[in-house]
Each structure stands twice: as C-alpha cells, then as structure tokens.
Amino acid sequence: MELEVRHLRALCAIADTGSLRKAARQLGMTQPSLTTQLRRIENTVGGRLFSREVTGSRPTPLGRSLLNRARPIVAEMNTLVSEVRLEVGQSAGEALRIGSTGSRAVVGWLRRLRARFPDTDTTIHIDVSANALLEMVAADQLDAAFVHEVEGTPLRVPDGVRRRVLLAREPQFVALAETHPAAAAPLVRLTDLADDQWMVDPAGDGEGAGLRRVLAAAGLNPRVVYGDYLTAADLVASGEVVAPCQPTARSRPGMAVRPLHGDPLVVGLYLASRAPDTGARDTGAPDAGATAVSADVDALYADLETAYLEIAWGSEAYRQWLLRNDSPLVRVRDARTPVPVHDIGLAGPSDGA
C-alpha cells in the first residue's frame, strides 16, 4: 500500500483528537474503518505510530516523526483545495459555510442567514467536537462555527481564530426519567442522583471530564458510561441513566428536564471565526478586507443571538432560570421587545446560582 494524503490526514486527526473515536467522527468514518486503516498504515511504514493508553491514543516516537512530515503536506493540500473551492465559488456565486455543535438554535440561525443572504449558498456542518470545528475554521473549511466550551476544560483555539461570546456561562440541566423521585421537584440536587448511572458522549470535548470533576466536588462517585445523546434519551426515559443536557432541550415522552441546584455544570457559548489579516495595517496600508470580515461576522452573530434567544425563551424551564438569574439574554430581549415583568412570569428568588 502506498501512503496517500487521506492517510496522512487520518494520522493528524488521531493525533489532534487523541482518540480513534473522535478522529473517526471528524473524518466521517466509522471507528472500525479507521482502526483498520491505521493498521494498514503501520504495516506500510513498518512500526507502531500510536500507543493506546487509558487517556487516549498517543503518538509513538515513530509516529511523531511521521507527523512532523505529514502536517505540512496536509496543510498544503488543505490550502490547495480551499483556493480551488474559492475560485469555483467566485465563479458560481457566494458561499457561506457555518458549523455548530448540536443546538436547537441552528435551525433558526440557518433560516435567518438564508433570508439575510438570499443569493448565497449557505451550508451547515454539525460536529459534536468543538475542537474539530475550530480546526475547520482555522483551515478555512468553515467561515464561522457556533461552539460550546465546558467550564474548567478549555478548548484548543488555533492561531488565527477568534471567539465572540454569546453567553459566558450557560447552565446545563439534567435529563432524567419522569418516574424518578427527583423529577417531582422543580430543582434537582446532585445528591438526589447519587445512586444513578450517568451517561455522556465521549466525543464531546471536555464533557466527561467536566462531569467527573463536578461529581467529585460534590463528594459523589457514581458510575459514568459513554454513549451518544440520541441513545441516551431512550435510556434516560427507561430509567437506566441520567444525563447532562442543554437547558433548551425538549422533554420527550417518559423524560423530564430539570435545572440543577447551584448550576454546577456550566458551559460558555461562542461564535468562532477567522481573525482578519492585519498585515496590511502593519505596513500602513488600509485593510479593506478586515472591515468586510468584521461586518460579516457581526451579521452572523446578530442572527445567531436572535435564533438562540428565540429557542431559550421558548423553553419554560430555561426561561424561568434566565429570569431568576438576571441573565444577559433577558436584557437583550427587553432591549428589543420591552415587556412588563408581570407579563413574562417572573419567578421567585434565585436558586443559588
């Protein structure tokens, strides 16, 4: 077998994500397929390129040597493909490529962008890994991405990528069976779930580590298992597991979504885009491109904020949390559509957030 660029790209993905599972998702492959491909690559070069450890896949000395040579080749190929696509896009019309980790706000964001830019071919790329999306922005494969960052577990932000804050601190709620005793209360304490099994998606950057840290801080050590959140929903409804969830998550038959007391699980929400090239300003020449980039990002952010506000306000449990905690989203909404407090159902005192 001869090494091809796709093989080098696979090696870089494994090294960057530290996980065959995450790398497979990023590459649009199944994990068994990527494992087989890695084995063939290792047979071709004559040695192991990664060691499998508890914390993930780590490059061996041979792997690091190969990666040092592979990365410039992959970067050059990415640049070549991006430039060709740009030329095609310029001849065929404008294109806008956005990405997002899973969020119910994506539908409204996409709808608004298509209304704002009717002559633009707008596409969406969804990935559970925020780090993978940031890499795509840095490589000019996406124009912008809506990502979340688990508090205490920073994302790897590549050089040349900037982030604009949508929400610095968004609470994560918990999904549990409607028949769970804790579901009878409007607010759930972690200690109410001490005997439950938790489920997280291991491909979500920092989510497993963030949950374990919060549970340990509460003096709890429950079993944490792994699975995608679509599977988790069925297991939650059956009472097999409980799972962290976004506060905008919809309840499903047999499942309840509740806030956690004290908001121990928190994420930040950001819009990531490429930073404008300031090289022209450094030489004293005006940088007209930077102004255009800034204007486009402002429009993307404005539509994302509106879409997210719509989803957040439509979620009863989250709306009450926003009002109790004087969230910036409340001030944004009031600035746009002032409504008397008694008309929006202001809740009681703070729950301790």
- Give the pLDDT confidence score for residue 337 in this predicted structure: 62
Q: What is the DSSP string of 15-70?
A: HHHS-HHHHHHHHT--HHHHHHHHHHHHHHHTS--EEEETTEEEE-HHHHHHHHHH
Per residue in 75-124, pLDDT (tens digit) is 888 777 766 666 655 545 578 999 999 899 999 999 999 999 988 889 99
Confidence (pLDDT) at 84: 67
- How many Å apart are CA 206 and CA 136, to the nearest integer? 19
What pLDDT is stored for residue 86 in this prediction? Answer: 60
In the block, tokens 């549990």 appear at 176
Q: What is the pTM of this model?
A: 0.68
Residues in the chain with pLDDT values less than 70: 82-93, 229-230, 277-295, 337-353
Give me the pLDDT at residue 293, please.
45
Give the Cβ contact number of residue 249 at 10 Å.
22
Please tell me the distance from the alpha carbon of residue 208 to that of residue 189, in angstroms, as a whole number. 19
> Residue 93 has what pLDDT?
54
Q: What is the dihedral of CA 199, 229, 50, 44, to 10 degrees?
A: 150
CA-to-CA distance for 190 and 195, rounded, in angstroms? 10
Give the residue from 115, 120, 153, 155 showing the smallest Cα distance to 145.
155
